[in-house]
Structure 1
């Protein structure tokens, strides 16, 4: 019996990946791949870079060989267009023909939406960053496997300036909050089922700390912090939570709940995708 095969689609261009690393983080695809290997230790996880010039990308025949495809976040804006974005849309549309399950975080949700015929815009409320607050599971989400074991109202790691404006026909809204109506959705596109979330269940606290360092000082200018000292203190708290996620004082100070603090709960959507889409589809194909 062959090992499960998963593909991570990196949404960023090379310069953006390098910039995140310079601020103490890692390429989004590397962190995603490590989490997938942790959840499914027997899996072989590949990474592709469709935004890179000359990238050797799998076609639909190659994509069909994977048991699941996960899409990272990105600093790109999908409405700006360009070759680095169109290649990702084309890759995803090819994936939809294969029946391979898809999961997208943040940019991944926006890419799925666009490839399936929906629309994405710059959020008129501005950026949502740090912890997405009071994300609420909808009636459809309450009975959906994506949210098995998840509280009906929760916080989540998040950083996005854009949002889904219009879901494509047939998509189901699974979660929402006051900042962005579409926080999660399920898509039936072509032969495939895709799940997407606007937040980042794959991020640890240390990655959020690196993102805040990278975005400084723009977050002060946008009004998230009074000054850079206050921002630095928040980054320090994120790094402390990485080392000590049970720190009661920090949990209270930032108003986060178990859905952020507990890695098992924080990553539940991805774990459920593997349990309820990837492995059943793999078995249906006679691979496991």
Structure 2
């Protein structure tokens, strides 16, 4: 049985807002996705942004660590950020494989000597479009099964602006040069995506609603009513993705987003290509 630790990137306030909109925390979302990929997998959850957070077990007891998204900003620093960088440092130093989406990528980059901050090309709200593997990404196991171009759920203002020394960028698009990356650090490996392979369409809808003011400010919707309309369309499509091809067409969404197995591909690849081989190498 694999045992994974899931680190919720949000502070208490952020977790509260997420639960209000989604009915669960970001860490609980990841736990559900991981268990859907492996029914025998065990997940422990921790909120390392909190000063009183306690790991359920030493980090080296886990076969992998997963970092969720967050409303925090790496560039702003502070104890909530430093505690999360410290957890990732400890895991990678111990040789524990780490995966992260969005916030997790930015934390890993900051730890390894890169730079994360506000993307000067603007945010992505809803979906990252026309994602394309780099030359290195075409043959990397993180992207096994992905086509030459694809879309994925994405919600972010911040991004990795300068990759760390020794890292390998695997995916880019017109909005951002670092959409997926591999970062070696100490004895470990970080694999991650700026986009959110863990999010179902109803959760994308909830995140749009949470970000409505910022979406309007960015000029992506005329007003918050338009954001609500987009969110409602995604909720409807989530309820019946196969039975509403007209709605999928209007939203510009194909199988790489609509089919859970395809949408979550990077998470499954992380388990199969990094976590299980590392566990075997550690003699567990």
For the aligned pair, the TM-score class normalised by the smaller chain equals over 0.9
- Aligned residue for 2:160? 164
Task: Give TM-score scaled by structure 1 length.
Answer: 0.95
- Aligned residue for 2:83? 87
1:174 lines up with 2:167 in the alignment: no
- Aligned residue for 2:214? 218
State how many pairs are aligned.
283
Deviations 1:24-82 (A, max 9, x none): 342110100111111111111001111112111478xx111111111000000000000
Is residue 100–residue 193 contact of structure 1 (8 Å, CA) maintained in 2?
Answer: yes
- Aligned residue for 2:224? 228
Counterpart-to-counterpart distance in 2, 1:178 and 1:270 = 24
Counterpart-to-counterpart distance in 2, 1:157 and 1:21 = 19
Gaps of 5+ in 1: none
Is residue 136–residue 152 contact of structure 1 (8 Å, CA) maintained in 2?
Answer: yes
- Aligned residue for 2:278? 281
Is residue 44–residue 56 contact of structure 2 (8 Å, CA) maintained in 1?
Answer: no
Counterpart-to-counterpart distance in 1, 2:223 and 2:163 = 37
Counterpart-to-counterpart distance in 2, 1:252 and 1:218 = 26
Is residue 120–residue 165 contact of structure 1 (8 Å, CA) maintained in 2?
Answer: yes
- Aligned residue for 2:7? 9
RMSD: 1.3
Secondary structure at the counterpart of residue 175 of structure 1: strand
Is residue 25–residue 207 contact of structure 1 (8 Å, CA) maintained in 2?
Answer: no
Deviations 1:219-272 (A, max 9, x none): 223211122332222111110111111221111111122110111010000000
Deviations 1:114-146 (A, max 9, x none): 111111121112211101010111110000001
- Aligned residue for 1:196? 192
- Aligned residue for 1:55? 53
The CA deviation at 1:162 is 0.7
- Aligned residue for 1:271? 268
How do 1:115-194 residues align onto structure 2 when only pairs under 5 Å count? 115-194=111-190
Moved segments of 4+, more than 3 Å: none
Is residue 26–residue 207 contact of structure 1 (8 Å, CA) maintained in 2?
Answer: no
Is residue 25–residue 206 contact of structure 1 (8 Å, CA) maintained in 2?
Answer: no
Task: Give TM-score scaled by structure 2 length.
Answer: 0.96
Gaps of 5+ in 2: none
- Aligned residue for 1:74? 70
Q: 1:31 aligns with which of 6, 29, 53?
A: 29
Counterpart-to-counterpart distance in 2, 1:24 and 1:48 = 18
Counterpart-to-counterpart distance in 2, 1:12 and 1:70 = 13
Counterpart-to-counterpart distance in 1, 2:258 and 2:161 = 30
The CA deviation at 1:218 is 3.2
